[in-house]
Structure 1
């Protein structure tokens, strides 16, 4: 991996992979929020994503690679930063040196990675089993009931909520920093930072809302 042999190159690679994952997160949110607005639309979009060959055999592996690559780069950069640090912040006071989000990117990243692993296992593996192992016939209307069933357990909803709250902190620092790492520094930088902060809060909270909506909608009235 000679093209990322330098610290700057690794930071750029980390930033680009992060921006790719942010784009996927937004696309994923658009599909999921449709389950609240119109279940038929959610079924239609999910069926397309679950049966389209380009999505299944090209974009999905690229996404998995992007997730793994991003977090490997995160571990490498964190290790190098700790190794290169001459002073162990003996005079550290609160957030005077850095924010909580920036200091704990590795911790929030590990939790999010664990959640993504569970998410892939929970959604992707059953999809593979349904289509290729048990070989059920296509059913374009099955996606909404399956999604609702995922949010039946309060424990699952709680873990889901925790993961997305931590994602807020991860994105709060990481999204805006990604643009800095790729050299985006001009008169639009301040507005862009405001957008990244808004995105970092609203999109994860949107996912939390979806989970809570489907969970409480199943409770006896």
Structure 2
């Protein structure tokens, strides 16, 4: 079911990227800091064309009371919706219940996961954390930037990449294709021992400026 919070939200994902935060439970310390951080940084997601929503096995009254705590502690205004699944119907179908993490009634809680949903309603990325570890929002935003940049540009992002840094030419592209797409001087080849002296249609490590 959907919480009766003071904003509208369709239970069906629209053709806009969304980030869904599964949290183990309301009125818990780690989740409070996470949802507060999401509220404080909501504008960063909005400018990337991404909508946020939360999900747990609590009801709407619980969510409404907890939101007051989140806003008081973090000074962030929670404007995104929180799904309610007190009967655990949706959580069971999604396979996101942690049988090793249970509430006072002995019922399993949802895992601490992040889902990034593509416009075609498929999952682009899923990150799952132990209940004792809060999520890193810098990393979530970094991954979102990478997914959006690489979706249609024939590039990939290397280790520790940040927005504005050089990217990698997609491996499937031959050098001839890379010449056509980026220009002969538009990318650089990294020489590696395994390719020395070989005639290749493509080098596997090539960098170019971010589109």
Normalised by the length of structure 2, the TM-score is: 0.23
- Larger radius of gyration between Structure 1 and Structure 2: 2
Normalised by the length of structure 1, the TM-score is: 0.23
